[in-house]
Each structure stands twice: as structure tokens, then as C-alpha cells.
């Protein structure tokens, strides 16, 4: 079975788009993550507003610490988006070939997107956990990737995996909404392309608008689980204060435990603390990702076809030699 070139093109353009959008918005992501990870205690909280995280970095002259964990986050984002887009595109094409349908319905799209998301979550969970711990560490005290991963036993690097699998519904909803709206928009143009040519793409503005809308819907529906996941993966405040206590047994955080802590200390609205920051970050990130992906997909497609032709010519010359 040959390599699926269209899926490979989709995966490559999606991964590059993720890498660029993650880098551009990383300081906002760090502020958001530290804000979400804090739970109000005895009526007091360190960060009353998202901007308090930024001012803390500025006042402590640790502005560059807003980028702590950037390398790990970029690696995680690149791998995750490559695996997700390749899996999603491949499963969709396989479904169409096996079912005989000309397009994928909404229900089937949700299943395919969830399957691709589950594969992605399992493969990238250690990097996701490490990135969250780096971001929630005290400014200037973030550890390296290997040191972060080897803290405690190896099962800790899979903290939050259950919620990550549950949150596969987030990209499933997002990309299903985006894909369905994109198909309707492109159908209205009635511009069909021949096989071997670059696939039809959206304009930058259309891709940005559809990406923002689809991600907003997905984020609102899944936000309580998102905040619980951040709290499970976050570095404990005691670890920041006593970084040398490596041998001390750390209590395992659970979904029930963090859910009870939020309910007991912040009430029902606590499950939605940081929702606006999450929407701002994820909408901008996803919109940028999809916009970049749409704009470079045609170029990626041409480059992959050119590379394939070059490899075929080289193979032919070797056989004839």
C-alpha cells in the first residue's frame, strides 16, 4: 500500500501551521495556563485577572519566562497536529472509499475526528504534561524536558490522559464544523480541480472566520474538562518553593479531586474560570493554524508531487543503469 500523498500534504501543512501559531501566541498561552491552574483558597487568590500573570513576569524581570516550555510545546503541537491531520484525512478518505459515498456526513465526521484525536492524545500525552508543568512553574524556575518527565514515576507523565481522551470531542466538534462550512462555501464557487492539481483552498479571511467560529463552539462546550485537565497537570506550588525535594512522594491528582476542589472553593462558576482567556487563545490559535494551513496546502501539495516525481525518475534511472 503506497503512501497517501493527500493525507501527507494535509498533515504537513497542518503541523507547520500549528508550529507558527503556537510560537506567536505562546506568552498568552502561558498566562492563561497559570491563571487556570490556580484555585482560590480562603477567599484569597494570587491572580485575580489574567493580566496579573503578565504583570508578575514584568515586575520580577522575568518576561522571557513567558516562553518557558516553548520548545516542548512546539514539539508537542507539531507532532500532535501532524498525527491528527494525517489520521483525520486518511480515515476520511478510507471511509469514502469503503462506503462508496461522495462525502462524509456529520455523524461519521465526528467519529473519524474523535478516532484521530484519540490516537493523537495517547501519542503526545507525555509532551503535553511536560509542557503544562513547565508553564505553571514559578517564573525562572522551569526545568528541562527530561528532568520534568523523570520527576516521580513514569505513570505521572500520563496525568490527565483520561480527560485528554474525553477532550477529543473538542477538535472533533471544531474540525467537523469547519469542514462542513468549508465544503458548503467551496461548493458555492463550483470550482472543480483535476486529479494531480492542487486542491481548492479557502481565502485567508474565510479560513480565519470559520476557524474562529468552529473553535468557539467547541471550547464553550468542553471548558470545564479543560480546566480540570490543566489543574491535574500543573506543577504544585510546593514544588516551586522546594525544588530540591525530589524524593518526596507526590500525591496523585484525580478528576474527582480537582473537581471537588473547584466546587468547594469557587463554586459552579469556578469551572468556567478563565473561559474568556481560553476562547481568546484557542480561537486565535486555531484560526491562525487553519488560515496558514489553507494558504500553504497548495504549495505543500505541489512540493510533495514534485518530490514524488523526482523519486520516481531517480528510481527509473537506477533500474536502467
Instruction: Work out the average pLDDT over 33-57.
Output: 83
Alpha helices by DSSP H, 100-203: 106-136, 145-149, 161-166, 169-189
Q: Which of 239-245's residues contact partners 24+ apart within 8 Å by CB, and which partners? A: 239/137, 240/137, 240/138, 240/141, 241/138, 243/141, 243/143
Position 244 confidence tier, pLDDT thresholds 50, 70, 90? very low
The DSSP-derived string for 229-260 is HHHHHSPPHHHHH-TT--SSPPPPP-HHHHHH
Lowest mean pLDDT among 7-21, 205-219, 243-257, 280-294: 243-257
The three-state DSSP-derived secondary structure of 46-113 is CCCCHHHHHHHHHHCCCHHHHHCCHHHHHHHHHHHHHHHHHHHHHHHHHHHHHHCCCCCCHHHHHHHH
- Tell me the pTM: 0.70
In the predicted structure, residue 4 carries a pLDDT above the cut 80: no
146 Cβ neighbours under 8 A, 6+ residues apart: none
> Cell 501543512 sits at which residue?
13
Q: State phi, psi for 153 to the nearest 5 degrees.
A: -90, 170
Lowest mean pLDDT among 8-12, 98-102, 307-311, 317-321: 317-321
Average pLDDT of the residues of the chain: 80
In the predicted structure, residue 60 carries a pLDDT above the cut 80: yes
Share of the chain above pLDDT 90, in %: 12
Amino acid at each position: 500500500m503506497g503512501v497517501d500523498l493527500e493525507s501527507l500534504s494535509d498533515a504537513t501543512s497542518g503541523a507547520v501551521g500549528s508550529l507558527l501559531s503556537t510560537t506567536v501566541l505562546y506568552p498568552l498561552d502561558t498566562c492563561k495556563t497559570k491563571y487556570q491552574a490556580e484555585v482560590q483558597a480562603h477567599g484569597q487568590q494570587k491572580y485575580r485577572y489574567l493580566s496579573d500573570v503578565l504583570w508578575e513576569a514584568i515586575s520580577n524581570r522575568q518576561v522571557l519566562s513567558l516562553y518557558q516550555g516553548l520548545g516542548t510545546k512546539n514539539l508537542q503541537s507539531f507532532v500532535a497536529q501532524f498525527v491528527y491531520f494525517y489520521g483525520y484525512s486518511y480515515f476520511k478518505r478510507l471511509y469514502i472509499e469503503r462506503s462508496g459515498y461522495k462525502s462524509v456526513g456529520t455523524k461519521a465526521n465526528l467519529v473519524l475526528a474523535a478516532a484521530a484525536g484519540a490516537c493523537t492524545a495517547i501519542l503526545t500525552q507525555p509532551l503535553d504534561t511536560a509542557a503544562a508543568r513547565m508553564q505553571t512553574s514559578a517564573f525562572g524556575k522551569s526545568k528541562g524536558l527530561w528532568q520534568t518527565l523523570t520527576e516521580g514515576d513514569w505513570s505521572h507523565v500520563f496525568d490527565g490522559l483520561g480527560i485528554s481522551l474525553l477532550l477529543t470531542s473538542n477538535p472533533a466538534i471544531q474540525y467537523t464544523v469547519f469542514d462542513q462550512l468549508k465544503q458548503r462555501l467551496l461548493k458555492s464557487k463550483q470550482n472543480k480541480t483535476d486529479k494531480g492539481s492542487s486542491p481548492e483552498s479557502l481565502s485567508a479571511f474565510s479560513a480565519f472566520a470559520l476557524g474562529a467560529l468552529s473553535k468557539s463552539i467547541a471550547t464553550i462546550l468542553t471548558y470545564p474538562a479543560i480546566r480540570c485537565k490543566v489543574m491535574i497537570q500543573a506543577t504544585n506550588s510546593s514544588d516551586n518553593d522546594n525544588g530540591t525535594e525530589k524524593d518526596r512522594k507526590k500525591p496523585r491528582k484525580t478528576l474527582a479531586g480537582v473537581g471537588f476542589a473547584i466546587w468547594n472553593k469557587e463554586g459552579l462558576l469556578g469551572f468556567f474560570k478563565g473561559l474568556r482567556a481560553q476562547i481568546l487563545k484557542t480561537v486565535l490559535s486555531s484560526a491562525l493554524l487553519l488560515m496558514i494551513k489553507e494558504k500553504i496546502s497548495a504549495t505543500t501539495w505541489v512540493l510533495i508531487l514534485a518530490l514524488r516525481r523526482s523519486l520516481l525518475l531517480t528510481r527509473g534511472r537506477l533500474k536502467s543503469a
